[in-house]
Amino acid sequence: MPRDLIAARTDLALLNARFAGRPSEAALAHALSGELGPVAMVSSFGAESAVLLHMVAQADPATPILFIDTLMLFPETLAYQRDLAARLGLRDIRVIQPDRRDLFAEDADALLHRSRPDACCALRKTRPLDRALAGFDGWITGRKRFQGGARADLDLFEGDPASGRIKVNPLAGWDARALAGYIDRHALPRHPLVARGYPSIGCAPCTGPAAPGEDSRAGRWRGQDKTECGIHVVNGRVARRLAS
């Protein structure tokens, strides 16, 4: 979709003002109403994913859910994805994997993450997601401001200037306490690695536990100048919003 079409369809500043202070379910309902065009949810089925997945299941269990299996995920994540999707009654889970020919050509020994982690993320996550989002005008993410770094000034509605798609972040203003409270109220199962000190969970080779008091994403790419996998990065910069 050309960049100018997204601005013609909606004024992101007005959308953010309209839903500021309202329950997250309101922004989510708007995203799923069809007014933004076809929309999918992208979920890692990670440490806090149950909250937004539960909201989506309550609103429309037929919402397409894109789950990127990089082929380097923890076995616990794969099992959690299957179990949680079944428990919530989500009816359109789309498991996305990297192209096998690309893997053979670019990472045959599965060691690319050691020398070029950005290239590994592009190969295993960004490019597969780009292909999976074809046909969608927007996508729902589980990012939150409290996760820090590039996410600290996250809007509810933002634009991706490269693709012209709208990204919706219903949980942008939530903190860890609110997430834990929601999980407890709805008796949602937690990712099994959370109990082992993993507050943020990605690929196994690049994810470790975080110490008490550390940023929730401190265990991701520890010791490297990298904080994002790349799916929210455009031309080397984190994509936050599109001027309207």
Element (H, E) at 67: strand 65-68
Which structure tokens are listed for 125? 């996550």
Which structure tokens are listed for 86? 């079944």
Residues of the chain with pLDDT under 70: 1-10, 148-151, 219, 222-244
Global pTM? 0.86
Please name each of the domains of the chain with its CATH number.
Answer: 3-238 (3.40.50.620)
Rounded CA Rg of the chain: 17
pLDDT given at position 227: 55
Active site residues: 229
Give the rounded percent of residues in the chain with a pLDDT score beyond 90. Answer: 68
pLDDT given at position 224: 67
Give residue-wise pLDDT tens across range 5-38. Answer: 454 456 888 999 999 999 999 999 999 999 999 9
pLDDT given at position 236: 40
pLDDT given at position 150: 65
Q: Distance between CA 159 and CA 7 in Å, rounded?
A: 9
Parallel/antiparallel/unpaired status of strands 93-96 and 166-168: unpaired
pLDDT given at position 22: 95
pLDDT given at position 25: 96
